[in-house]
Structure 1
């Protein structure tokens, strides 16, 4: 610290804002960092301002990477990096940060839960949380059967399963039918239903009240089922303190691995396995996938769909489940060579693991195409080679298709003899998480498109005279040519849900398919701009909140 500098008044934001902006723009020198540290020690109000600013900065920078991508005309061979935004941009877009700072994706390395600031006072309802994911959810008595933003009030979940996150980072997963009330981020009332609460340190003290009991969480994970005159609670980790409604004195503590059962006035605590299945966040995504498998929602031109569900009678066959439909005979079943069945995007689903030399799935995509689209879910453990195969034609003859990942984590999509251009994103394919990738080739558009988590990652020119004839191909590897400079291209990781269309998918279709198939929407918070009508409406209502927040900061 530098004690010779003059102290700033808590209400003076000029110097503080300038220092934070220099830090965010990577322009701060050693003296700037020392002065910033000194200011942060001067008062809680300054630290609150700093935390709010950095939350907005992180959330909006992530969102802008997905929403402010350059147009095709503006793209060049060189990588595009979106510049850091100024404070004025953050204030205008604070409505987006309100949601996305809660949904900030945790990468493969653990990060703290990102919270949102309470909405400023005004003539609007304060958001207590957002819907992270849902499957078949229907809320009665509401104009929107599945609300995006959650405010204080009573709710009736008639059916389906939902996952919502409160502003203090608490995750609640609930299966209908259920009746509940949100009072504030630490106070929820459950009249009936089954929930799981996942409470980080920031949510300690979160309480769910049944008609008879109060369940106060001390930073843990627990499940609760409430019926008429009875309840059952199980602690997965940590500790939950329990007392009867209206009785302040007596508190019982229930610890990890213990359950509480209440019937009328009778309460028992013991180490019994719960009889009820408490839903998890991944249950929401999996149940939605089972009911509505995303590629099947785009049937027009679908000629190959591999949901990666093993056939007990033919364990070495990866089945094309649309093989009987018109045109689908062009895509064969896959022959699994070496790759092994393992747990997939959800614990209930399977995928194929490619982690040894020669692991691959061999299939044929016959004939010539004017347009073709492919999509897959991949989980990259590592990138061993200069180029790493997703779907690659055997050899390198005119018409062959090579859909791959570079060792730099960049996408690369090529048809023989086209002019390849560089990636548009900064290291878009991450390790240690499920990523949706899609490849679109169209002679009529005159280009190829490569998407990562719904975001355009590479564009190449595709002349009308180009051949597109994938032929004999491999998932996860390739058959090398003797003279090729990159003979080894084995994929190292897991694959799930591969699909092929004989038409060009639109960007909107790729984005929606990504959103419907992601294990948890939390993964897409820093990748996809909000495209749902619910999200757009929520952001529109929140613009006034952003304006008020900016005016309040200016007046201080």
Structure 2
């Protein structure tokens, strides 16, 4: 049998398979025992054997990826290894049944059919009975599931928190031998000190991704008429025959919204004093999925009494029964001038400042699912890109369109403003311009939203 120095044999194998160099002292090169190339070939084969599929990518939503990384695709099998996402969401289904929703920026590692690690970012893990024992490692500890749903966040400095949404998780901080059980609605930061329980906060995690929308109904006001006081609905499958939009002035002396040039054809300008538009269509009710998309131009001189509201319906009579989209005017809630959706008292506020006298395309998506609320079921988009939430306050979404105090759709008027003596936070009317309003009875994905942005139409159903 031919023999060589083990180092030479390893180098030959390494050159053929691009393996790393052996560690210093890891393989004898001296006059000691010789190892046959056959033995090291077997070692090479074992090191390079195909690793079994542990999981698959099942959903990707509004994602961007680091430069140089191959872009995952839906259906792609995942073996042991790391993957990174800069922005957006990715859902991974493990072969034993566990699912993980990653929110970028995140760095995640698949380690096996029942084993993974989160090195950075946020993840929600849902584990059915057949996948009990699923283990998620992090910089500060290990989590072992016993049939549950939980969220985990890992910061850039390695700080780690677990929030148990349902069921129970066995939590073992790094360096500890004993695990601690966390049950539903309990959370804990994992530190080098003793683990301390706190209340779970589901609002920090996206627990479901928008369902795929098939055939949809929608309203569409293009505001291209250029004259008169009515804008016709150009949509289909929603709101007929009550969806014409009527231009109004709250004061008898006012002229109402003004026709101006828009992003596509005409648009409407609102003066912030008494202009608004109303429609007899009551809006989309309850927790039903919806998307509201439009172009908006907000002046640089925007004042905090001119932000409410771009569009709304529902009522403020009970928590969660309103649906109002605005330019945030309330510094106590979040940064001023950002896209905002409120359901009273809950809200989501974006991060992009819109006060620049330029047209921006905005979309607010709310999708159905378990526990629909502002913390977990609302996404904001600005100019076709996901707009991460700067601030959230959680309320369940249950929009009321049938109650005695429920309002039908208004554009440019605060839902809280009912009479001239009303004193309302954020002002009674919106100042700025609006064009191409779409209200859709489905949760649109990023591709569909970008179609509205680029072509002013929904893509054909696939």
| TM-score bin, normalised by smaller chain | 0.3 to 0.5
- The structure carrying a bigger helix percent of its residues is 1
User: Rg larger in 1 or in 2?
Assistant: 2
Structure with more relative contact order (C-alpha pairs < 8 Å, separation 6 or more): 1
TM-score, structure 2 as length reference: 0.42
